[in-house]
Chains A and B, each alone.
Chain A
Amino acid sequence: MRTMVEIGLLIFVGSAGAGCASLPLPQDQVEHYEASVARARQMGAFRLQADQGHRGALGMSQSKEHLLLADDEMAVARDMAEHGDTRSVLLLGRAQSDVDLAIALACEQATRQRSSTPADRQPDRRPPTLALCQEWRSR
Chain B
Amino acid sequence: MTRLSTTVLLPVALALLSGACATAVPASLVYARLSYASSAKGITGYMAPSPLAEARGVLDKANKEFATNGDTATCRDYAYIAANKLELADSVARANLTTPLESEAPTVSESTSPPANELRLASAR
Contact = CB atoms under 8 A, between A and B. Distances in A.
Given A90-B78, A93-B81, A138-B104, A101 B95 contact: no
B99 A114 contact: yes
Nearest to A100: B88
B5 interface: no
A83 to B, nearest CB: 15
A39 B53 CA distance: 24
B92 interface: yes
Interface residues of B, number: 21
A97 interface: yes
Interface stretch (A11-19, A29-37, A103-111): A103-111
Given A94-B77, A97-B84, A104 B92 contact: yes
29 contacts: A66-B84, A87-B73, A90-B78, A90-B81, A91-B77, A94-B77, A97-B81, A97-B85, A100-B84, A101-B84, A101-B85, A101-B87, A101-B88, A101-B91, A104-B91, A104-B92, A107-B91, A108-B92, A108-B94, A108-B98, A111-B95, A111-B99, A112-B98, A133-B95, A134-B102, A137-B96, A137-B101, A138-B101, A138-B103
Contact of A107 (B77, B95, B104): B95
Q: State the majority secondary structure of interface residues on B.
A: helix
Nearest to A110: B95
Given A100-B84, A101-B91, A138-B104, A115 B99 contact: yes
Contacts of B94: 108
B104 to A, nearest CB: 7
A138 B101 CA distance: 8
Contacts of A90: 73-74, 77-78, 81
Nearest to A105: B91
Nearest to B102: A134
A94 B98 CA distance: 28
B95 A93 contact: no
Contacts of B95: 104, 107-108, 111-112, 133, 137
Interface in A119-139: 133-134, 137-138
A2 B101 CA distance: 76
Contacts of A100: 84-85, 88
Contacts of A138: 101, 103-104
Given A66-B84, A90-B78, A111-B95, 13 more contacts: A93-B81, A97-B80, A97-B84, A101-B84, A104-B87, A104-B95, A108-B92, A108-B98, A112-B98, A133-B95, A137-B104, A138-B101, A138-B104
